[in-house]
Amino acid sequence: MGLRIAMLSAVFPPSVGGIQTHTLRLSQRLVAHGAQVVVLTRHHQGLPRREFVEGVEVLRLGQGDARREVATATYLADSLRVLVSRRDELDVMHAHQMLSPTSVGLLARKALGIPLVINPHACGPQGDVQYLRNAHWLAGGWRLDAARRWADAFVSISEPIREELRGSGIGEDRIWRIANGVDLDTFRPAGAEERQALRDPLGLPRGPVVTYSGRLAPEKGVDVLLEAWALLVRARPEATLVLLGNGPEEAALRRRVAQLGLGASVRPMGAVSDVPAWLRASDVFALASRTEGLPVALLEGMACALPAVATRVGGTPEVLDDGVHGRLVPSENPSALAEGLIEALAPGTGARWGAAARARVEARFSLDAIAHRLLQLYGGLVHERAGARSSAGTV
């Protein structure tokens, strides 16, 4: 029988974002490798409390649409109830983000002894570790200390996150460097003819298309991308910018599009069901983030052989080599971003960068390889637990 894994994530599809996408696709790939996976996430109105998504059991718990304190408390209570009821059916817990999912995992680890893996997803001022250090009203210091004492292992998706974990007193022997991954079959390049065939049903023009995919949230810097686009269209008026995703900034960004007079060249599409088709129909991927862990959306764009122009933040430089796979530019710099996008739209340059981008993702960020590494980690923890139980039984 395969390993039995509880994925703890406060966010999950159909909600849009890198953590959501990663949790779903990773869970599906672990199931394909023989594991059993149950995802414990927050419930939102209109969604089923329990469903199966390609072999992955999804339990939606608590009152996710209530005010934050109630949503957190009910998710915490319901998740603990599920974990207690299934304590003999689980081998390991994997908590995404060091917020409410980690709180659930820590309490269950202490009470039930189920091994816990904690997976931060962001670094810097808005990242997991620094947020907890500053979140006195949320007992952030206690949670960070409890994680340091009780968690069995940590997954670091990028070098900056690893450094933050080490700086918090977590030993190197408990930190596993395992990046996010991408499904190379789903996200794959399209030739020129296929790209155009994909565009017609999506309503995209024949000119150059630049795409951003992700949450419309302040940390993603889409406002900076719009400022850059206002500069770019002076040189490339035939180009189109596609924004895929939703989030708290959606209304404000739509207003900004109108204020900048970009209505003819910017298409905010909201959340879409077929992100791979939109990426494969595009020419360039853009990411103007202010902070990142290791961006799944960037990996997806590169897997589709899109040259990428992204900000030099978080783990992005570990994915994208400047001048090889695209351009790395400073954050909060619309001019540099516009220049990078114009360079990527040049046919020869874009094709060269795109081919190299696909090769980079194939070599280092395959979801299959990531799943295999995690199964090694989980298996080691289960073996350690079994050994500890055996030793305790002989005392």
Q: What is the model's pLDDT at position 390?
A: 58
| Per-residue model confidence as pLDDT tens digits over 292-305 | 999 999 999 999 99
Per the CB < 8 A criterion, the answer to whether 212 and 242 are in contact is yes
The pLDDT assigned to 308 comes to 99
- pLDDT greater than 50 at residue 172: yes
Q: State the Cα–Cα distance between residues 395 and 390, nearest whole angstrom.
A: 9
Domains of the chain: 4-181+366-394 (3.40.50.2000), 192-364 (3.40.50.2000)
Query: Please, which pLDDT band fits residue 126 given cuts at 50, 70 and 90?
Result: confident
The DSSP bridge pattern shows strands 56-61 and 50-53 to be antiparallel
| Mean pLDDT score, 124-143 | 76
Identify the pLDDT of residue 26. 97
- In degrees, to the nearest 5, what angle opens at C-alpha 258 toward C-alphas 255 and 263? 125
Mean local confidence (pLDDT), 31-44 = 97
Q: How far, in whole angstroms, is CA 1 from its chain's centroid?
A: 29
State whether residue 225 is helix, strand or coil: helix
Average of pLDDT values for 8-36?
94
Q: What is the mean pLDDT of residues 129-145?
A: 76
Q: Tell me the average pLDDT of the chain.
A: 94
Position 395 confidence tier, pLDDT thresholds 50, 70, 90: very low
Residue count of the chain: 395
